[in-house]
Amino acid sequence: MSAPSLSPLFKAILWGGMLASFCDMVFAFVSYGLRLGVFQSVLGGIIGRDTARAGGVPAFVAGLFLHYLIGIIWAAIYWVASRRNPALVKYALPAGLVYGFVVFYGMNCVVLPLSALHAKAWPPPWAPLALAVHMVFVGLPIALVVRYYSRRLPA
């Protein structure tokens, strides 16, 4: 008896989100160093920066989990959008780069200001390196993974 396989939908969302989150995690560690505070800050969006920083390793692990969950949510959003607009699958390369732009500014102008971190929403941040990383290493992997699994859907 073989193990049940996940549908292309779940594989696309899971792998797209995990790959994008991993790439973003590497960028965060390269940019900020291998410190607990890197992902404690992610958790700080829910429980507040000071509480998260005081949480030690458990707060780091929870923040890392939350980071991956956010990536999976962004991949799910792309999957749903690609079902409504097949051009997102057909033209995955440019669409993925644009989606990375959307993710970067969505996080910085909507999610972070609404979080417990209360980041400033406007004007939007101008961080060319971080924006480029999100375009190439977040949006693009999500789009390419969605394209890969979209081609495996039953006709």
Separation between Cα atoms, residue 128 and residue 3, nearest integer Å: 45
Longest dimension (CA), the chain: 57
Q: Which two tokens stand for residue 57?
A: 């390793």
Report the alpha-carbon distance of residue 35 to residue 33 in Å, rounded: 6
Q: Report pLDDT digits (tens) over 21-78.
A: 999 999 999 999 999 999 999 999 999 999 999 999 999 999 999 999 999 999 999 9
User: What average pLDDT does range 90-106 have in this prediction?
Assistant: 97
Higher pLDDT: 71 or 1? It is: 71
Output the CA torsion sign for 57, 49, 134, 131.
negative
Express each pLDDT in 134-146 by its tens digit. Answer: 999 999 999 999 9
Residue type for position 113:
P
At residue 153, the pLDDT reads: 80
List the end-to-end C-alpha distance of the chain, in Å, as a whole number: 26
Check pLDDT > 60 for residue 3. no
Domain boundaries, the chain: 8-150
Work out the average pLDDT over 124-128: 82
Q: Is the pLDDT score of 119 beyond 90? A: no
59 within 8 A of 43, measured Cβ to Cβ = yes
The per-residue pLDDT for 5 is 63
Position 150 scores a pLDDT of 94
- What's the rounded Cα separation, in Å, for the pair 123 and 146? 32
Gap between the Cα atoms of 106 and 34, Å rounded: 26
Looking at per-residue pLDDT, the higher value among 66 and 113 belongs to 66
Residue 1 pLDDT level (bands cut at 50, 70, 90): very low
Q: Are 150 and 87 in contact (CB under 8 A)?
A: no
User: What is the reported pTM?
Assistant: 0.92
- For residue 121, the model assigns a pLDDT of 75
DSSP-derived 3-state class of residue 56: helix
Tell me if 44 sits within 8 A of 52, measured CB to CB: yes
